[in-house]
Amino acid sequence: MKSAILATTLSAIFALGGCAGQGNTNPTSHTASSDTLTNAAVNIESGKDYHSFSNPEQISVTHLALDLDVNFDKKVISGDVQLTVKRMQEGNNTLVLDTRDLTIKGVTANGMPVPYSLGKEDSFLGAPLSITVPEGTNKVTVSYQTSPQASGVQWLTPAQTAGKQHPFLFTQSQAIHARSFMPLQDSPQVRVTYSATVHTPKELLAVMSASNDPDTARDGVYEFNMPQPIPAYLIALAVGDLQFKPMGKRTGVYAEPALLDAAADEFADTESMLEVTEKTYGPYRWDRYDLLILPPSFPFGGMENPRLSFITPTVIAGDKSLVSLIAHELAHSWSGNTVTNATWRDLWLNEGFTTYLTYRIMQMVYGDNRYNMEAVLGRQDLQADIDSLAADDEILAIDLRGRDPDAVFSNIPYEKGALFLRELEQKVGRDNFDQFLLNYFEHFAFQSITTDQFMAYLNDTLLNDYADKLSSERIHQWIFQPGIPQGAPVPHSNAFKIVDDARNQWLNGELQAKDIDAKDWVVHQWLYFLNNMPETLSQDQLAELDAVFDLTQSKNNEIAHSWLLMAVENWYEPALPRVHSYLVSIGRNKLVKPIYKALSQTPKGKVLAQKAFAEAKPGYHPLTVKANEGFVD
């Protein structure tokens, strides 16, 4: 899922918000006592999910059979879910499920009512649903209805879509939002297969993170099957005026008609990405890999729902400059979907591995130059978070007890995790590390694992085979200490030298903007140019850049983001109307949150933020509202 800070950097493309700014490329590590290695793990029970009420260690759900009706008028999903369970402890008959804002209409087994109770509501965990499963049966059926305010569901009016003719619905389950549209064991350590029948208005198409038939008839009844066991956060549904266009023998794109051709052209290299990843890291295990282009209110860059990644339209740039997002969501098919973090403390096992794979996929498809540029930008993004986060939030195996797991999404699990793997690669050699990853994906296929399990596997493999090059102390430092360890890899790109020279000469008054030879610059160079500007620029400097390069009207959403953030921080008034239109036209947190945060720092900025938020809020996803409402209070 799920980005952080600057531009087309890999971590920046997928997760929640963050702040843009100049990155210091010097490695930084917080001062920590020798006890820091273990302090992060004190009293944390490895594998215990502190964000779920469910009891899979006693009785575990193995399959879901959904029969759902989508009601756009009432903005509710209603129906039944039949849960197949397995008793993990002899004689245990109490099944505990996670729910949030669900109306439970009844629970049955073998057609007969069974006892159930709904527990006390927690502010972000929801409420436990306890069900007595009769002896001799392994299936119970829950009839329920969602709330119109379900945190994991967004309902869009026709006016909020590209086509303006039909409504649109999509779900977003990560991290713990699946429980807002179905009762289930909402923990990544619980893997289920599922089937579904979804009833919709006949003119609309339903798609899910399951088997999708591109040629299915539009009859208002759609059948789905997911035969591989997946965690709850990967269950996803979308309904809208969707059409399909193939991009390769196993890849295609679903989108509203107005976006379909542009999306298919932009992401035409998806099949090539899939093929090179298979060649290096083993077979793709999910049959097809399709993309769903969502309306611009989608709060993430992308979400790695298996077989059907959900994608923001903000990366359709017309030049494939932002397609590392597609590489990232595809890479999750290996790291995240096939081998999954067991708890949200272990998120770095998903995102760090996936970000590392993303860089490698981009290198294999687009070459060393792009690989190096994106790596430098990613390193700067990581440094920006290291400079701004509390030390406890800079730890890969983060302590999230008592906190909303959405808080874990920063550059730490993404870029710090990837940098750790890059160091392992450099220590043991790329070919050896690739073989390690291929074996790792095979060894843990379709399992959810903890940081401790990964470390035990690493100890038995790389640490054992390369004891002269790796140390357990260094690995503990990476995983359990804040900051970036001294001596960590520092990527370089020759393509940025001309950008540094041009920026420095312009700042020193030795070169006018009109004389900067930027006609051949790619998006990554523009982002490096902007993101490494001083925090303060004069109005004349901003006006000069804008007049020459028309930055306020940039059609690239990442370049526009960096420029508009700079404009807000320096209160460059000619750009403020675009700031407003930018905030009300997209809901991707990575792009809007830093701007809202910057606006909130001054009284006049807060007025602009409040106006934009009030206009945009009806079309924002609940996660975008939650992430930004504090800036406009």
Name the burial class of residue 572, with classes exposed (0-12), middle (13-18) and buried (19+) by CB atoms within 10 angstroms of its CB: buried
Comparing C-alpha atoms, which of 481, 474, 521, 482 is closest to residue 501? 521
Q: How many Å apart are CA 441 and CA 282, to the nearest integer? A: 8
Provide the residue count of the chain.
633
Calculate ∠ Cα 298-301-304, nearest 5°: 95
Helix and strand numbers, DSSP H then E, in the chain:
21, 21
What the block records as the tokens of 111 is 């057609």
Identity of residue 399: D
Which DSSP category does 415 fall into?
I
The Cα diameter of the chain in Å comes to 83
| Catalytic annotation, residues | 329, 414
459, 467, 474, 575 from 471: Cα distances, Å = 9, 7, 5, 51
Name the burial class of residue 256, with classes exposed (0-12), middle (13-18) and buried (19+) by CB atoms within 10 angstroms of its CB: buried
The DSSP annotation for 294-320 comes to: PPTT-SSSEE--TTEEEE-GGG--SSS
Pairing of strands 168-171, 153-156: antiparallel
Who contacts 514 (Cβ-Cβ below 8 Å, separation ≥6)? 548
Beta bridge partners of 197: 67, 223
Q: How many Å apart are CA 377 and CA 257, to the nearest integer? A: 34
Pairing of strands 237-240, 205-208: antiparallel
Identity of residue 123: S
The DSSP annotation for 319-345 comes to: SSTTTHHHHHHHHTTTBTTTEEESSGG
Q: How many Å apart are CA 363 and CA 434, to the nearest integer? A: 14
Comparing C-alpha atoms, which of 488, 484, 485, 412 is closest to residue 18? 412
Site of tokens 């945060």: 597
Pairing of strands 289-293, 251-255: parallel
Instruction: Spell 535-559 as b/e; 16+ CB within 10 A means b.
Output: eebeeebbebbbeebebbebebbbb
